[in-house]
Amino acid sequence: MGDRSYGAAGSNAMQLWPPEVEAERAEARQVVAAAIAGFRDFLRPPGELAGDAASRARNQREHVNRNLVTVPEAIDREIAGVRCRVLVPERLPATGVYLHFHGGGMIMGLPEMNDVPNRDLTRRHGLAVVSVDYRLAPEHPWPAGPDDGVAVAAWLLENAEREFGTRRLIVGGESAGGYMSAAVLLRARDELRAADRFLGANLVFGVYDWGRSPSQRGVLPHDGPDVLVEEDVAFIAECYLPGRTDEERRDPAISPAFADLRGLPPALMSVGTCDHLLDDTLMLASRWAVAGNPVELFVAPDMPHGFTFFPCAMTRRFAGVTTAWFTRILASG
């Protein structure tokens, strides 16, 4: 576990980040302290989040959606009955298709949130990107969102070569999108018998244990601030999985960290140590590797949930690791 540039090669000691990252931690803490209030304001409307679950989720959605930055290259397209945001490289065939899922805790968010980074992937790697506007809770609890993702995945398995000139798929997303990516990949393996069509999975600070891992409950190794708080995690879980106990939410069909993970493609998993979803990634990465699948793990010390929004040396390092991973994955398939 860990790639050649980022892991602790040649050592029996478990190192979750290389020594040179230590020199980047002070700057990272300063950047987070200066910017985290603004990031929270982006995610939450001013004032108390009151009212029933649907009203609260709707208010958050409307607030976030007012601040989206879109790009003209991205087009809306209905795929398998689901609205998707599609980007295509200037020249076909594409090197692959990136099946992308946006974040937002399964209660908010749109594919447009990732227009800019998805355009960068298209330009840098020649990928086509299909970002899915899956249904959201509490109006559409589990399994509605993953059902939409599987429908789009099934369509791509049948039509990607005709549409984009390639059969090769990569799946990935951030936060809830990391969860969606893992859940859809598992169902593509089990229901569509198509795990071999996926070159890799890019899983960025996702939630993989809906039964509330220790970090979700506030047991964290560092005292730095996070975008999430325990109440946020509990609210999201109740919207997405209403009426279920923590143990019921750990059903392998719901929580990827408890699933059989054999026969899956290489993954890049990323998380910060102040993230309330830290343990989800650490658990999934360990079990992914023990199941015999290659894993590269990027742990960002002192960084919160959504650490990619905090520009500093550490996030630039993450961008370089991610670019190198996509390059290797596309070269290997």
Length of the chain counted residue by residue: 333
**Active site residue: 115, 125, 148, 175, which one?**
175
Catalytic residue among 275, 279, 280, 302: 275
| Active-site pick, 100, 125, 276, 305 | 305
Burial 184-218 (b: 16+ CB within 10 A, else e): bbbbbbeeeebbebbbbbbbbbbbbbbbbbebbee
Active site residue 140: no
Query: Bridge partners of 268?
Result: 202, 296
Active site residue 175: yes
CA distance 204 to 170: 14
> How many CB atoms lie under 10 A from the CB of residue 91?
8
Annotation marks residue 275 as catalytic: yes
Catalytic residue numbers, as ranges: 175, 275, 305
